[in-house]
Amino acid sequence: MARTRKLTISTDAAGHTAGWASTEPASDTPVTPHPSTAAFFDVDNTMLRGASIYWLARGLAARNYFTTADLAQFAWRQARFRLLAAEHAGDLSRAREAALAFVAGWRVDDVERLSEEIFDELMAPRIWAGSRALAQTHLDAGQRVWLVSATPVEIGRVIAQRLGLTGALGTVAEVVDGAYTGRLVGDLMHGPAKAEAVAQLAAVEGLDLDTCSAYSDSVNDLPMLSTVGHPVAVNPDTALRRQARERGWQIRDFRTGRRAARIAVPSTVAAGFLVGAVSAGLAIRRRWASN
C-alpha cells in the first residue's frame, strides 16, 4: 500500500512555516493573484546553475567554516550518492537518516543570514536568466510562483525572497529552541515527495493543478511534472529530454555547450542535503562550535 505523507503546516518560534514558506510581496503594487493558477520551479539546474547546497558549501568554505578539502569530499560523496540513488530507483532511506546531521546545534537565524550573504555572492550570478524570465511571466500574469527543492525550506525561502517569488517548498529540518536538532521532519523533498507537496499545497490554496505549470531539469521530478497541466523540461537531463519528447512537453534549454560543461561538477550534487554531507559536515560543526 502506498504511504501518504502529510505536509506539516505549522510555525516555529520565529513564526516560520514548516513544510513550505511564504515570502513577502515582491513589490508595493503586486498584481492581483490569480485564484487558481501557480507555477512550480525546481531549483538546482532549473532556476540555478549547479546545486544550491554546493554553492552554500562553497560560501561556508570561503568563511573558514570548513576547508576546501572538506568541500571536495562533500562534493564527491554527494555525487556518489546521486549515482547510487538512481541505481536503486531513488531509495533515499539512508539519506533521510543522515541528511541534516551536520547542522545539529546550528542556529536557524545564523543559517539564514549566511544563506542570504552567499546567495548574493555566489548564487545570484548563476540564476538562469531564461528561467527567471519564465517565473516573471507567471508573476506578471498574477500567478503565484513557488520553488520546490530538496534543499532545506529555510534556504529555499531565502532564494525565493531574493527572486521576489511567492515562497518555497523544501525539506523540513527539526528545530528546537531556534536551533537545528540534525533530524528531519518527514522525508526529503525529492521525487514523489515533491508531487505530494505540490498537491497538498494546491488543496490548501485552492489551486487547479490542470491550469498550473511545473519546471524541472531532472527525470527524478517526473511525478511533479506529471501532476500539473503544463509541464516544462528546463535544461533537461537525457532521460527527461526523452520523456518530454515522448509526452509532447515543452523543452526549454538555456545552456550552451561550453557553459553546460562548466557546470557539470556542481550539477552532480543537486540532490540536496544527502548522505555525503555528514562527514564533511562534522568538520563544519567543529569549526562552527569553535568560533
- What would the DSSP string read from start to end of 92-150? -HHHHHHTTGGGTT-BHHHHHHHHHHHIIIIIGGGB-HHHHHHHHHHHHTT-EEEEEEE
* For residues 170-192, average pLDDT: 87
- Asked if residues 194 and 169 have their Cβ atoms less than 8 Å apart, the reply is yes
pLDDT, one tens digit per residue, over 217-236 is: 999 999 999 999 999 999 99
Model confidence, pTM = 0.77
Torsion of Cα atoms, 227 then 183 then 153 then 213, to 10°: -10
Q: What is the pLDDT of residue 139?
A: 94
Q: Cα separation of 153 and 198, whole Å?
A: 14
Q: What is the pLDDT of residue 102?
A: 63
Q: Which of 12, 28, 42, 253 is catalytic?
A: 42
Highest mean pLDDT among 31-40, 201-210, 249-258: 201-210
Number of residues in the chain: 291
Q: What is the mean pLDDT of the chain?
A: 75
Look up 42 and say whether it is catalytic.
Answer: yes
- The band of 75, judged by pLDDT with boundaries at 50, 70 and 90, is low
Q: Which of 28, 44, 210, 237 is catalytic?
A: 44
Domain positions in the chain are 31-290
β-bridge partners, 184? 173
Range 31-290 classified under CATH 3.40.50.1950: no
Count Cβ atoms below 10 Å from residue 233 Cβ, excluding itself: 28
pLDDT, one tens digit per residue, over 17-66 is: 335 554 443 434 345 567 799 999 999 999 999 888 888 888 888 888 76
Lowest-pLDDT choice from 2-6, 73-77, 179-183, 205-209? 2-6
Q: What is the pLDDT of residue 67?
A: 67
- Asked if residues 94 and 275 have their Cβ atoms less than 8 Å apart, the reply is yes
Helix, strand, or coil (residue 89): coil
- Asked if residues 241 and 219 have their Cβ atoms less than 8 Å apart, the reply is no
pLDDT, one tens digit per residue, over 83-140 is: 544 444 444 555 555 556 667 788 889 888 999 999 999 999 999 999 999 999 999 9
| Nearest residue to 16 via CA among 173, 159, 139 | 173
